[in-house]
Amino acid sequence: MITPPLPLPALAVDALVRAALAEDLGRAGDVTTDAIVGRAAHATAHLAARQAGVVAGLDLAEAAFRVLDPDVVVERACADGDRVAAGTTLATVRGRAHALLSAERTALNLVGHLSGVATATRRLVDLVAGTRARVVDTRKTTPGLRAAEKYAVRCGGGWNHRFGLDDAVLIKDNHLTVAGGITEAVRRVRAVAGHTVVVEVEVEDLAGVEEALACGVGALLLDNMPPDLLAEAVRLVDGRAVTEASGTITEATIAAVAASGVDLISVGWITHSAPALDVGLDVVVERPALD
């Protein structure tokens, strides 16, 4: 049994979809459709993947149609997280033709973008199968879409790093410079951060690993280390902290990184640079019914 990914909260689905529709409809609405398609006409549309990939965002697509036609009927042919072949129907939508056509681009932009993130994630996840390494995201997300993109990462089999600056501590090089070192930086954080705040420190060499472990931090960000140094660091840590590798991870290099035994491999480009999955809407219009 596969655990379904944690869902995107319903309030976020609603807010995102309404904002996206408003952005596309502007002040005057869909002039083309409103001029051509009668308000009473109905149609059926198939949401389909034009490329192979992993699906994410079907709730958002459905919501886009439903906002413009509350009576729309949507039948899902697959679920978020499913791998699909090119040509796969994802869902069938029946409702007012004008709503289907006016919401089409909004629905496709959302599903295409998030499925792109899920697909890129899944590719990396597959490449590290059999190791203990999990693929995790970063805060390098598209402004306004962080929760949605992190949901898409989950759909692709990846895991989420922190959602923002406020829900975990990550002490980076600049912080270390200010504090004057790992020990002092961790001390300052410990003086104010509560028990639900995991503390992670960026380290660049084994001395840093040792110092951070001595502070009892929860996780180590092993930045830009080659695989053999990573492996050494993992041995040194010996389970006393979560180990995270980061820095220019590609499809070509991720397997070697994973082989080092790290717990996590964080990758920024699965959210900021994943190409959209090509998803389309095939509208079946029966002329007499439609107009």
Contacts of 154 (CB under 8 A, 6+ apart): 5, 6, 81, 160
Kindly tell me the sign of the dihedral angle through the C-alpha atoms of 19, 20, 23, 27. Answer: negative
Q: Are 95 and 285 in contact (CB under 8 A)?
A: no
Find the binding residues for a second copy in span 17-46 (CB under 8 A).
18-37, 39, 41
Q: Are 172 and 244 in contact (CB under 8 A)?
A: no
Rounded-to-integer distance, Cα 167 and Cα 139, Å: 12
Find the binding residues for a second copy in span 216-245 (CB under 8 A).
218-219, 242, 244
Whose tokens are 């679920």? That residue is 79
Query: Smallest gap, in angstroms, from Cβ of residue 162 to a second copy?
Result: 5
Q: Are 51 and 8 in contact (CB under 8 A)?
A: no
Interface residue with a second copy, options 55, 68, 74, 127 (CB under 8 A): 68
Query: Smallest gap, in angstroms, from Cβ of residue 227 to a second copy?
Result: 21
Binding of residue 53 to a second copy (CB under 8 A)? no
Interface residue with a second copy, options 85, 174, 239, 252 (CB under 8 A): 174
Out of 105, 146, 190, 240, pick the active-site residue.
105
Binding of residue 94 to a second copy (CB under 8 A)? no
Q: Are 100 and 106 in contact (CB under 8 A)?
A: no
Query: Smallest gap, in angstroms, from Cβ of residue 156 to a second copy?
Result: 14
Binding of residue 51 to a second copy (CB under 8 A)? no
Find the binding residues for a second copy in span 95-154 (CB under 8 A).
97, 101-102, 105-106, 108-110, 112-113, 116, 136, 139-147, 150, 154
Binding of residue 80 to a second copy (CB under 8 A)? no
Burial class (CB in 10 A: 0-12, 13-18, 19+), 136: buried
Active site residue 105: yes
Rounded-to-integer distance, Cα 32 and Cα 159, Å: 42
Find the binding residues for a second copy in span 248-287 (CB under 8 A).
263-264, 269, 272-276, 283, 285, 287
Interface residue with a second copy, options 85, 192, 239, 252 (CB under 8 A): 192
Query: Smallest gap, in angstroms, from Cβ of residue 180 to a second copy?
Result: 7
Query: Smallest gap, in angstroms, from Cβ of residue 171 to a second copy?
Result: 6
Nearest to 243 by CA among 265, 216, 214, 270: 265
Q: Based on CB atoms, which residue is closest to a second copy, 85 or 194?
A: 194
Tell me the three state secondary structure of residue 141.
coil
Binding of residue 290 to a second copy (CB under 8 A)? yes
- Only segment of 121-129, 168-176, 207-215, 225-233 that touches a second copy (CB under 8 A): 168-176
Rounded-to-integer distance, Cα 100 and Cα 31, Å: 14
Residues belonging to the active site: 105, 140, 172, 202, 223
